[in-house]
Amino acid sequence: DVKVTQSSRYLVKRTGEKVFLECVQDMDHENMFWYRQDPGLGLRLIYFSYDVKMKEKGDIPEGYSVSREKKERFSLILESASTNQTSMYLCASSLLGDEQFFGPGTRLTVL
């Protein structure tokens, strides 16, 4: 079975802190994705990556950056966390053109 793991299930940070969310997949998938999920808004794509060291902006990249130094790992970075970034963050991976497999999510609260 494909496994996508995220470094934390729950995270509490203060406004202005730099926040790292880590995602690791174990199935050698080329594609990796970061979404945020908010009630009534569904899932919105922040960034995605089709290969190591490649990244593409999604629908809401402002305030975020990403890093993909290794194929299995895709990190989401909040350079200076703000309260409007309080959300559930979901990581996913897939083979090219195939369905996405999701991690359990990280619920981030920014105070």
Partner 1 sequence: AQSVAQPEDQVNVAEGNPLTVKCTYSVSGNPYLFWYVQYPNRGLQFLLKYITGDNLVKGSYGFEAEFNKSQTSFHLKKPSALVSDSALYFCAVRASNTPLVFGKGTRLSVIA
Footprint of partner 1 (CB under 8 A) = 4, 33, 35, 40-45, 48, 58, 90, 92, 97, 99-105
Q: In whole angstroms, give the CA distance from residue 65 to residue 54.
A: 12
Of 58 and 63, CB closest to partner 1: 58
Q: Are strands 19-25 and 73-78 parallel, antiparallel or unpaired?
A: antiparallel
In the complex, minimum distance from the CB of residue 6 to partner 1, in angstroms, rounded to a whole number: 8
Of 17 and 28, CB closest to partner 1: 28
In the complex, minimum distance from the CB of residue 12 to partner 1, in angstroms, rounded to a whole number: 16
In the complex, minimum distance from the CB of residue 43 to partner 1, in angstroms, rounded to a whole number: 4
Longest Cα separation, the chain:
38
Residue of 70, 55, 109 lying closest to 86 (CA atoms) = 109
In the complex, minimum distance from the CB of residue 80 to partner 1, in angstroms, rounded to a whole number: 26
3-state helix, strand, coil in the chain (%, to 5): 5, 55, 45
57 is written with which tokens? Answer: 């902006």
